[in-house]
Amino acid sequence: MSRQKISIKTILFGSFIIILSILFAIILLFNNIYQENQMEIQRELILKNAVMHAYTLAEIKYDAVLNRDLDEEMAKEHVKEALLGEKLEDGTRTMDSNYSLGENGYFIIYSSEGEEIAHPRLEGQNVYNVTDSLDDSVYIVQEQIELAKNKGEGYYYYNWEYPNNPEKIGKKICYVKYFQPWDWVIVATTYEKDLKVYFEESKKSFLYTAILIVLIIIPLVSYIYKKITNPLFKLNRKMQHFSNNMEVPNIDCSTKIKEISEIESSFNNLSEELLAYIEELQGLNEEIENLNSENSAIIDKMNLLLDETSDILDFDNEKDFLKEVFDNLYSLIPEAYSGVLSVLEDGRVKYISSKNLDIEKLNALNLKTDEYITYNNVFTSKNTKTVKQDALSEEKNNSLNSLLSKKNESLYIPINGNNKQVGNLIFHTTGNDVFSKESFRIAVYYSKLISLFLKFEDMNEFQNNVQRQIIISLIKMMEYHDTYTKGHSQNVANLAEDFSRFLGYDKEFLNRIYWAGMVHDVGKIIIPQDILNKPGKLTYEEYELIKNHPVYSFEVLNEIDNLKDISYIVKHHHERIDGKGYPDNLKDKEIPIESKILCLVDTWDAMTRNRSYRKALSIDSAKKELIKNKNKQFDSKLVDYFLEYIKSNEPL
């Protein structure tokens, strides 16, 4: 049997490698077709993205000027150097740039009057009247400035001579965008022919990257399969076997992973308890069958009882189940004149169903749990009390005696679950009637049936906890990777849930946003630790890398069926109302409400906690930041509600 299992695993793993190879070949084929079809679009996008990066850099330096971190001339020079390199003594630029626009590509910055603010060779000159190399009637600089100022941005095509060969003229493509604060027209330009060479290099890079990814994935999948997936699959087979056959199979799920071992131990304990109760139920069924042979009336009643039992076990709601049991018992016990069903909940005794007793008057007693006397076994008595002698006032005691004035004997049935009493059923006779042995046995049977039902509920809760514990384990792994995340995810989850409750959302919404808060930063496990925990300010490239973490989180969570809805919340929790967020630049109503709430509470927790590069803000300072960013980063109404929420939770 062991060899057969090993053979199946080998076949599955080999099949995976074959499928992976086929997928790799298909991806290469379609990538080649796609790049050929999309080359023109991508050529334009390269220029557009370059200008957008340059525009963003200008915004950052402009903000630094406003914050008085830089003077304006120094800020402008920083932008020029980043795009075209340092300026040499002869007025040219070194072209030592971080942006690749092809062999002869470069950035240009014009003023509205056509002055070259930044250029590889012509900086400081006025080129307002420069014309197309093949058409003197086309004033290319004027048209670029007009396009940028009137439309904000766009593509432009023209003919121009090559720098090292003036007799050779090629078609150029550029993208222009207007930066109003400094009256700059930012242009990225290159020859179409050069970009084709760039795409050929991109194809090679894609091939090398794909090969490297495959070489990494194969050992990684093998490791995950052996160390994590294998024990989880074994545990799943063990649970399915138990569910189908009601016996614990001899399957070894041993692993060094603490959480999986704890889950297996919990399952083993619960299954042993459940089997013990099933054995008791089987013994009780045998006793009932023996009683049926003694009396035909009892046989008919027991058949009815067994039919009803199968229906009762289909209930999902505990209180509805108990009410059904109470009604059935009242009909099966002929001596019962009155009765009441109560549960112990929130420190109080709550009466939820009754027969021939005023339930409103019973609940008006307002009994506390510690004022109530509980018992562990089914029994009958004429004098047993369920309320402590000094628990009630004289008025309430008289009311209780009046309610029970007609009772003769009481049948007490405890509701026991998870090693504690959660309520009870009590029936009363009247006159000189007493409960028969048959009625007592029925009560015992139903007591066991109730316990079994509660055990089944515990089993369902346990299975739900399996997924919950796996998620929590994943969060712990993330906290080990990112020291700032420790405690942050739990804080955001709690705050998001409590604020949503303040807004009046239902239980399902609260549960969804809580778990979204718990896993919203799980994608950061892909980001290198030295960037996540960097004490100083991040570079532009480092910040761009960190901005990918919502996408990483989405890709992980979207693979889990029960977390797909949460994955979209997490993906968009860094979007902004003004559309300047990431990863998809969504605006206002395009952003899910859960993501808006998560963005708000995530920022609040980040501002009010110490970070590696700054101390926490005061509550007042944090509030001002929220108000400052209304209708920019945050939803205006949510900010107003959140400020009310914070005020309601501040100490008096």
With contact defined as beta carbons under 8 Å apart, do 186 and 107 qualify? yes
State the total domains in the chain: 2
Q: Is residue 103 part of a domain?
A: no
State what percent of residues in the chain have pLDDT above 90. Answer: 27
Inform me whether the pLDDT recorded for 368 exceeds 70: yes
**In terms of domains, do 349 and 414 share one?**
yes
pLDDT confidence of residue 600: 96
| 372 assigned to some structural domain | yes
Q: What is the DSSP string of 532-549?
A: HT-SSPPPHHHHHHHTTH
pLDDT in tens, 35-49: 555 555 666 788 888
Q: Is residue 594 part of a domain?
A: yes
Burial of 172 (0-12, 13-18, 19+ CB in 10 A): buried
Q: Tell me if 238 is assigned to some domain.
A: no
pLDDT in tens, 465-483: 655 676 676 677 766 666 6
Looking at every residue in the chain, the average pLDDT score rounds to 80
Which contiguous run of DSSP H or E holds residue 474? helix 437-481
Residue 354 pLDDT greater than 80, yes or no: yes
CA distance 338 to 426: 9
Lowest mean pLDDT among 14-23, 160-169, 360-369, 526-535: 14-23
Q: Is the pLDDT of residue 235 over 90?
A: no
Which band of pLDDT confidence, cut at 50, 70 and 90, is reported for residue 568? very high
Shared domain check, 521 and 426: no
Report if residue 471 sits inside a domain. Answer: no
pTM over 0.75: no
Please say whether the beta carbons of 558 and 567 come within 8 A.
yes
Which range among 124-133, 293-302, 369-378, 558-567 has the greatest average pLDDT? 124-133
For residues 405 and 487, state if they share a domain. Answer: no
Amino acid 586: pLDDT: 95
Give SS3 for 580. Answer: coil
Angle among Cα 279, 285, 288 to the nearest 5 degrees reads 145
Out of 92-96, 132-136, 310-314, least confident range: 310-314
**419-446 residue pLDDT tens:** 677 888 889 998 888 898 888 888 888 8
Token reading at 435: 């409960």
Across the range 328-342, mean pLDDT stands at 87
Asked if residue 196 is part of any domain, the answer here is: no
432 and 508 assigned to the same domain = no
> Rounded CA gap, 69 and 82, in Å?
18
Structural domain includes residue 253:
no
pLDDT tens string 150-195: 998 999 999 998 878 878 898 989 999 999 999 999 999 988 877 6
In this structure, are residues 191 and 170 in contact, taking their beta carbons and an 8 Å threshold? yes
Distance between CA 118 and CA 81 in Å, rounded?
9
pLDDT at 228: 62
**Strand-strand pairing, 131-132 and 116-118:** unpaired
Structure tokens given for 52: 């957008």
Give me the helices (H) in 482-539, please.
488-503, 507-519, 529-532
Helix, strand, or coil (residue 99): coil
Q: What is the 3-state secondary structure (H, E, C) of 321-341?
A: HHHHHHHHHHHHCCCCCEEEE
- Reply yes or no on whether the pLDDT at 508 is more than 60: yes
Q: Are residues 571 and 623 both part of a single domain?
A: yes
Please tell me whether residues 322 and 421 are part of one structural domain.
yes
**Residue that wins the pLDDT comparison between 459 and 376:** 376
DSSP assignment of 149-186 equals: HHHSEEEEEEEEEETTEEEEEEEEEEEEEEEGGGTEEE
* Consecutive H or E run containing 215: helix 192-224
Q: How far is CA 50 from CA 98, 500, 539, in A?
A: 10, 41, 17
Q: List the structure tokens of 270.
A: 């619960």
**Domain check: are 437 and 493 in the same one?**
no
CA distance 358 to 347: 22
User: Helices in 225-315 by DSSP H: which ranges?
Assistant: 230-245, 258-294, 296-312
425 and 492 share one domain: no
**Are 493 and 427 contained in the same domain?**
no
Q: Which domain holds residue 619?
A: 482-649
> Same domain for 385 and 500?
no
Distance, in Å, from the CA atom of 466 to the CA atom of 148, rounded to the nearest integer, reads 57
Query: Is residue 14's pLDDT more than 60?
Result: yes
Does residue 292 surpass a pLDDT of 50? yes
Task: Give which of 601, 592, 595, 648 is closest to 626, Cα–Cα.
Answer: 601
Q: How does 538-577 read in b/e, with b if 16+ C-beta sit within 10 Å?
A: eeeebeebbeebbbbbbebbbeeeebeebbbbbbbbbbbb
Residue 611: C-alpha distances to residues 284, 478, 534, 633 (Å): 63, 17, 10, 21
Q: CATH no. for residue 397?
A: 3.30.450.40
How long a stretch of residues is the chain? Answer: 652
- Each as own residue / partner, the long-range contacts of residues 298-307 (CB below 8 Å, 24 or more positions apart, any chain) are 298/438, 301/332, 301/438, 301/442, 304/332, 305/332, 305/442, 305/445
CATH number of the CATH domain containing 612: 1.10.3210.10
572-618 tens-digit pLDDT: 999 999 999 999 999 999 999 999 999 999 999 989 887 655 688 88
Same domain flag for 421 and 335? yes
Same-domain check for residues 531 and 594: yes
Cβ atoms of 382 and 337 closer than 8 Å:
no
Q: Could you tell me the pLDDT band of residue 298, with boundaries at 50, 70 and 90? A: low
| 2 occurs within a structural domain | no
